[in-house]
Chain A
Amino acid sequence: MGVPMNRIKWLLPLLYILFVLLPIYWLLNMSFKTTNEILGSFTLWPDQFTLQNYRTIFTDPTWYVGYLNTLAYVLANTAISLAVALPAAYAFSRYRFLGDKHLFFWLLSNRMAPPAVFALPFFQLYSAIGLFDTHIAVALAHCLFNVPLAVWILEGFMSGVPKELDETAFVDGYSFPRFFFRIFIPTIAAGIGVAAFFCFMFSWVELLLAKTLTAVAAKPIAATMTRTASTSGYELGLLSAAGALTIVPGALVIYFVRNYIAKGFALGRV
């Protein structure tokens, strides 16, 4: 039983990867086809290979500005989330204070709030303070679910670092800020990488709130795509090309943190 099992073990990940790549392949295939070919016939690869869809996206501002808008609020959100989550996670992992457990659960409970519930109140709130249709509005709104997650992940990593590290540093005469930035942050770099990965990921993929909080100036790429599908006919080729391009930033991020993901979780909550 044991030996044959081990021999075919690699099959499962391989099949799963093929399953993962299949829809991505189909999206790429569609993105290199002309609209006529898409609607006219069923072909496994483009007969008349065209880059026209991509050319449209890179030359038409309504398209490429969407990407820049999305990148702007995602990066802002990741920076804000980490900046506020780092000290908080340190407090949760090192100190006991009044109401700490309740506070921790309250924070996590916000990760459980369905965005559909908050769409309308968010629209009213951000309109009232004059931030509607700005990048910062989306960046702040996404903090609702990213900050609790970042605190949760970072707290796990920090609890894995022995307290002796802090005590030794304070005995050596380090002030708290100097210890925090010079010693502590480099020690949990992997954890920060993992937290940043998750913040980037959940902000990049979220659309409901991003769409609700923007109109023109800060419109995310995903919302531009929805408009194309509904108004200017069914331009599947263009839609596929835009979709294929939204995969690129994510793929780059994964490539950079690939070694941290496994190592990171292992150091943390396990």
Chain B
Amino acid sequence: MSGRTPNQKAWWLVLPVVVLVAFNAVIPLMTVVNYSVQETFGDNQFFFEGVTWFEQILHSSRFHEALQRQLLFTAIVLAIELPLGVAIALAMPRRGAWASVCLVLMAMPLLIPWNVVGAMWNILALPDIGLLGHSLNAMGFDYNFTRQPLSAWLTLITMDVWHWTSLVVLLAYAGLSAIPNAFYQAARIDGASGWAVFCFIQLPKMKRVLMIAVLLRFMDSFMIYTEAIVLTGGGPGNATSLLSIDLVKIALGQFDLGPAAAMSLIYFLIILLLSWVFYTVMTRDEPQ
């Protein structure tokens, strides 16, 4: 963003975006803030409650457990998807028909509606008639994702890896394609090892796209709802009740608007804060 000319008229160009997003974001957010400080007994009767709901949520073990599950889930999928995606992108051919075939096939999971992703993994993992479930049980593993928390977690993580690793591959591949051939030739002349080429040429060149990948994967895995609710429904018990699932249970299931709204705000703030930390850490050494 360097070398831009000061021009206040540019506001006219961003005005449509501001109006549209403000309509979609500010009004609903104000509704949530409004609910979060009130108690309702139906019939549109509201009573001011102040920060009661916030205190209640922050002290409730239910919220702490859901948050811990969420953090664990996000940490695991990031730890698997990022290295795997980069490794696949490195191993892919740079150009030619085979590269196009790889890209098209790998991008498929990204364009499947999220509930279909959940349904598809459900069908695949059913212990009696699913390919995965049936095979695992035939091999002697005791696998049943509707009954055992461990099986449910493994299925959920495998599903997310299946669903989103391709995004990391696409981004990393785009970063790699942008490296001019001259860089590799120079490295060969210097006798650089493959590892050195990765550390000093490929990784620095991929930094920007990897930052986008980390941010998108962090945000989306933190908000996962549809796939998980279709696959496990948060169960068995509460074993896979991640934050969004728990939130919808409270908001639409029990219709506790106040606590749900307070939880929404805390949830949103956690994502904002963590994204900001990621962003700051990753752009720290960059000249602005």
Residues of A within 8 A of B (CB): 1-2, 5, 9-13, 16-17, 19-24, 26-27, 30, 38-39, 42, 44, 80, 83-85, 87-88, 90-98, 100, 103, 107, 109-122, 124-125, 140-141, 143-144, 147-148, 151, 159, 163, 201, 204-208, 221-222, 225-226, 229, 236, 239-240, 243, 246-247, 249-251, 253-255, 258-259, 261-267, 269-270
Contacts and interface: CB of A to CB of B under 8 A. Distances in A.
Interface of B: 1, 3-11, 13-14, 16-18, 20-21, 23-25, 27-29, 31-32, 84, 87-88, 91-93, 99-100, 102-116, 119-121, 123-124, 128-131, 134, 162, 165-166, 169-171, 173-175, 177-178, 193-194, 205, 208-209, 212, 219, 222-223, 225-226, 243-244, 247-248, 251-252, 257, 260, 264-265, 267-268, 271-272, 275
A265 B169 CA distance: 12
Contacts of B208: 269-270
A94 B4 contact: yes
A140 B27 CA distance: 14
Given A91-B14, A97-B6, A125-B31, A13 B209 contact: no
10 contacts: A19-B162, A88-B16, A96-B7, A107-B17, A112-B275, A121-B29, A222-B115, A225-B116, A247-B111, A265-B171
Nearest to B3: A163
B252 A16 contact: no
A26 B130 contact: yes
A110 B114 CA distance: 20
Contacts of B268: 112-114, 117
Given A117-B265, A204-B113, 4 more contacts: A2-B193, A208-B225, A254-B111, A269-B208
A87 B18 CA distance: 12
A229 B105 CA distance: 28
Nearest to B174: A265
A171 B23 CA distance: 38
B234 to A, nearest CB: 12
Nearest to B111: A250
Contacts of B91: 9-13
Nearest to B8: A97
A261 B107 CA distance: 10
Given A97-B10, A103-B18, A262-B177, A23 B120 contact: yes
Nearest to A40: B129
B17 A39 contact: no
B165 A16 contact: yes
A132 B166 CA distance: 35
